[in-house]
Structure 1
């Protein structure tokens, strides 16, 4: 007989099973000794000198976010390749939720993450795609809106990296 208690226990077991591969993959990473962010691809895409600003901001955010997992001098390197940054047209709102309701426009930040061991061996690799509303950067009418939107994208991407590393 199916009861709510049985369904709940099955749901909890399913959730634990779904998280098990993530935990097993993270077990390899004990500490991150170096953080490297490569923004050369977005520099070629037209981000120019802003690519360097993104690199610096992301390295700082990662160092702060990883907390005790980041131990300078440890043997592993966190290598982040920023593949793309896209800011959608934004004029004060993203509109409705239906495909033709005026919505669906989001800012995106695409990166590939690789954790390298002391001898350069790949310990872990995963893609991270951050998709957030353009309003995440705050007031659209202020002159620095695009910079704040990029910062919001970096913060979101770093939060996902931290989660995948188990920090």
Structure 2
């Protein structure tokens, strides 16, 4: 009876520790992915429909460029789940002495999951990117918001590659 309960406790501890082992690790330098997917379901669940699809498209393109040398072959899939996006509605509100309302930052939050063919998460890497809201140019330009999303997606992708130890 004692041996059976010790085995059960050991299995339970491994089950609890396994997700922790998948967190904040880096990948072997030669890692290649079979593909890259962007998951914006958390944004869609908040009713951000077309906006979420725009974020997906920009981030998918940025990840494809950044990880171009890492895609192809039978490796695991890189899944990036976007959990939050915040673009300041007004860029350029600082005073000439550097003060202001401190809302001149755009954020893209999510996590990267490295998933094997069986669906097992091999690695989980949470990440928050913050960029200056002026990255899209003049705030009054109608194309500014799109450029800001493009910029922060590229920023997120570049830092993700570093965070995974693949730079």
**TM exceeds 0.5?**
yes
What does residue 107 of structure 1 align with? Answer: 106
CA deviation digits over 1:69-98, x for unaligned, max 9?
111x42310011100111113142445898
Q: Distance in 2 between matches of 1:136 and 1:147?
A: 10
Query: Per the alignment, in what secondary structure is the counterpart of residue 146 of structure 2?
Result: helix
Superposition misfits of 4+ residues, deviation over 4 angstroms: 93-98
- The CA deviation at 1:35 is 0.8
8 Å CA contact 2:26, 2:163 repeated in 1? no
What does residue 50 of structure 1 align with? Answer: 51
Q: Distance in 2 between matches of 1:35 and 1:116?
A: 10
Number of positions where the alignment pairs a residue of Structure 1 with one of Structure 2:
142
Matched, 1:82 2:82: yes
What does residue 153 of structure 2 align with? Answer: 154
Which runs of 5 or more structure 1 residues have no equivalent in the other structure? 1-21
Q: Distance in 2 between matches of 1:78 and 1:68?
A: 14
Change (3 A) 1:94 1:35: farther
What does residue 41 of structure 1 align with? Answer: 42
TM-score by length of 1: 0.74
8 Å CA contact 2:33, 2:74 repeated in 1? yes
* RMSD of Structure 2 on Structure 1 (CA): 2.3
- The CA deviation at 1:130 is 0.6
Which runs of 5 or more structure 2 residues have no equivalent in the other structure? 1-23
Q: By percentage of residues, which structure has more helix?
A: 1
- The CA deviation at 1:139 is 1.7
Query: Larger RCO: Structure 1 or Structure 2 (Cα < 8 Å, ≥ 6 residues apart)?
Result: 2
TM-score by length of 2: 0.74
